[in-house]
Amino acid sequence: MFDINVILKQISVTLVPFFLAVTIHEVSHGYAAYFLGDRTAKDMGRLTLNPFAHIDIFGLLFLLITQLFGWAKPIPVDFSRLKNRKYGPALVAFAGPFSNFALAIISAILLKMFVNFHVVEYNRFIFEPISYMLFYSVQINIVLGIFNMIPILPLDGGRILQSFLPYRMAYSFAQMERYGFIIILILVITGAIRYIIYPVIDLFMKILL
C-alpha cells in the first residue's frame, strides 16, 4: 500500500537536486557554446540559473514516474557559429555531463562532512532533509552524466562521437538522430538501459559514497 507521506517526502527531497542538476547541465552547454563563439543561448535568455527557464514538464514527469531518468529543455546551439567547427560540438556536448560529475563530487564531499561531523544531530528538522538532498544529488547527477554520455544522438555522447568520426561516417551517423529518442525510449521501456549504465552508476556511487 502506498504511503502518501513517504511519497511526498521522496518528491520533496528529489526535486531540488533534480532542478539544480538539469539547470547546471544546460547552462554549462550554453556557456561552453558562448565561449566558443555562439551567442544563441545568451541572446535567448537561457544562460540563467532560473530552473523554470530550463524545466521540461514531460522530463519532470518522467523523473517522478521512473525515480531515475528525466530531462530539461535543450539549450539552443548554432554549431555553425562555433570557432572550432570540428571539435567545438564535442566540447559543448561534454560540458553538460562534466558539470554533473562535478556536482556529484561536491555533493558527495558535503554529505561525508555531514556524516563525519554528525551535523544532522544539531538540528534534525533542517539538516536531515538536506542530507537526503545531497544523497539524491549524487545519484541524480551521476545518472544524468552517464546517461547523457551514451553514444546515441541527440544525447551528448552521440554528439561527442560524431565530432570524432570521419566526415562521411559523421554524416551517416547524424541521419540517425531522428530515431534517437525512439531508440532511447525502447532501451528504457525494455529495461535494456539497466544493463548498459547501471554497472557504471553503481561503480561511481561506491567510489563517491
Exposed e or buried b per residue across 97-120, where buried means at least 16 C-beta atoms within 10 angstroms of its C-beta: bbbbbebbbebbebbeebeeeebb
Q: What does the domain layout of the chain look like in residue ranges? A: 4-208
pLDDT at 113: 94
| Catalytic, out of 26, 121, 128, 177 | 26
| The C-alpha cell that represents 130 in the structure block | 538536506
| Collapsed DSSP state (helix, strand, coil) of residue 72 | strand
- Work out the percent of the chain whose per-residue pLDDT is above 90: 63
Peptide bond into 154 cis (omega under 30): yes
Find, among 148, 145, 143, 179, the residue nearest to 161 by Cα.
Answer: 148
- Name the burial class of residue 141, with classes exposed (0-12), middle (13-18) and buried (19+) by CB atoms within 10 angstroms of its CB: buried
- CA 40 to CA 141: how far, in whole Å? 26
Q: Which of 173, 174, 198 is nearest to 188 (CA)?
A: 198
Q: 142: how many CB neighbours lie within 10 A of its CB?
A: 28
For position 201, what pLDDT does the model report? 92
Q: How confident is the model at residue 69 (pLDDT cuts 50, 70, 90)?
A: low
Q: Which helix (H) or strand (E) holds 45?
A: none
Its pTM stands at 0.91
C-beta of residue 173 within 8 angstroms of C-beta of residue 162: yes
Instruction: State the alpha helices, DSSP H only, in the chain.
Output: 4-35, 40-43, 57-66, 88-116, 124-148, 156-164, 167-174, 180-190, 192-208
Is residue 121 part of the annotated active site? The answer reads no
pLDDT digits (tens, 9 = 90+) for 77-88: 999 999 998 899
Residue 101 has pLDDT above 80, yes or no: yes
